[in-house]
Structure 1
Amino acid sequence: MFFFSATLVSCQFFDKKAPSEDELLQNELQKIDWKKVDAFPTVDACEVITDESQRRQCFFEYLTQTIQDKLSVDTLRIFYPEIDTIEVKVTVFPDATLKFEPQFPKDSLAYDKIKIDSILHTKLVDMPKINPAIKRGIPVKTQFVLPVILKSE
């Protein structure tokens, strides 16, 4: 009698249908926060840092300093001595390539945007290797804007 009642009760578990592949995929995709990455881009010099926020800070400081060093050599200061800071939009692609775009105020007509963009592309070659951001184990594209101070000597 016990065996018979156990089989009747357990039969209700067989009536449930397993969710389809698409349902499982949609549920998992909804759980993912697509606005955040699991690991920010980094450079080899910052890899030894274990704390994620300190590693991110190290990366931004390292990249900002590298860009400042390359741009402070001469060119922008000669053409535009009134510019002391330039915002640079940096894109790190999954294949570890970089793209730099100067950002200008909306009302900025005083600068030759094409010339400044050209200077950026010329000066910002041979950048150190940057490891792309990681999302769920896969390299992903990231973008951020860095304020770059042009040193005056």
Structure 2
Amino acid sequence: MKVIYFFILLLLISCDGFETKKLQKEAVISEQLDTFNWNEVDQYPSFQICEKLDAKEDKKACFETEITNKFFETLNNDSLVVNENFSDTIYLDLLISELGNLSITKRNIKAKTRILIPKIDTLLDKSIQEMPKIYPAIKRGQQVRTKFTLPILIEVDSL
């Protein structure tokens, strides 16, 4: 009979031990989620040319320069005829998927710019299509989606 009481006591004590471990695990997860910065990545998106750089900020600067240059090349290579001087900044909300696919999610283009450069959307889409392979951002060892806004300054001096 004492053996039965011993097993019942042992069973009650072991159940309390399981509950404590569960609470500790939830506390650790909660603490990590509180300290986790959802707006930062461990490694920014990158092009192959940027991969040789070591420092995180150097890779970021390389990516920003390269993506800006690619948009500039497409816009500059097309012969645009505009009858008046004007200056505008276009803001593109870009999304790079976990697979490295680039897309424009929002275009902030003034009506005047659309009138003066009617094929601006086509040129921006062409820039996206001609973009070299993009390596996605990395967060905690996983490829993640990133969103950012790219400003493009357009200045036209008519001759």
TM-score by structure 2 length? 0.69
Q: Say which structure is richer in helix.
A: 2
Q: Which segment drifts farther, 78-87 or 39-48? A: 78-87
Distance 1:119 1:80 in 2: 19
Contact 1:39 1:134 in 2 (8 A): yes
Q: 1:26 aligns with which of 3, 24, 30?
A: 30
Partner in structure 1 of residue 10 of structure 2? none
Shift of 1:85: 4.3
Partner in structure 1 of residue 9 of structure 2? none
The yes-or-no answer on 1:117 pairing with 2:121 is: yes
Distance 2:83 2:92 in 1: 16
* Runs of 5+ unmatched residues, structure 1: 1-13
Shift of 1:122: 3.3
Q: 2:108 aligns with which of 92, 103, 107?
A: 103
Partner in structure 2 of residue 130 of structure 1? 134
Distance 2:82 2:145 in 1: 33
The yes-or-no answer on 1:74 pairing with 2:74 is: no
Helix, strand or coil at the partner of 1:86: strand
Q: Which segment drifts farther, 81-90 or 121-130? A: 81-90
Distance 1:72 1:151 in 2: 11
Aligned length: 136
Distance 1:109 1:36 in 2: 34
TM-score by structure 1 length? 0.71
Q: 1:47 aligns with which of 51, 76, 92?
A: 51
Q: Which segment drifts farther, 120-129 or 82-91? A: 82-91
Partner in structure 2 of residue 17 of structure 1? 20
Q: Which segment drifts farther, 108-117 or 50-59? A: 108-117
Contact 2:44 2:137 in 1 (8 A): yes
Q: Which segment drifts farther, 66-75 or 141-150? A: 141-150
Partner in structure 2 of residue 61 of structure 1? 65
- Cα 1:93–1:128 shift into 2, 3 Å: same
Shift of 1:94: 0.7
Distance 1:124 1:71 in 2: 12
Shift of 1:47: 0.6
Larger radius of gyration, structure 1 or 2?
Answer: 2
* Runs of 5+ unmatched residues, structure 2: 1-15
Identity across matched positions, percent: 26
Contact 2:100 2:133 in 1 (8 A): yes
Shift of 1:62: 0.8
Partner in structure 1 of residue 4 of structure 2? none
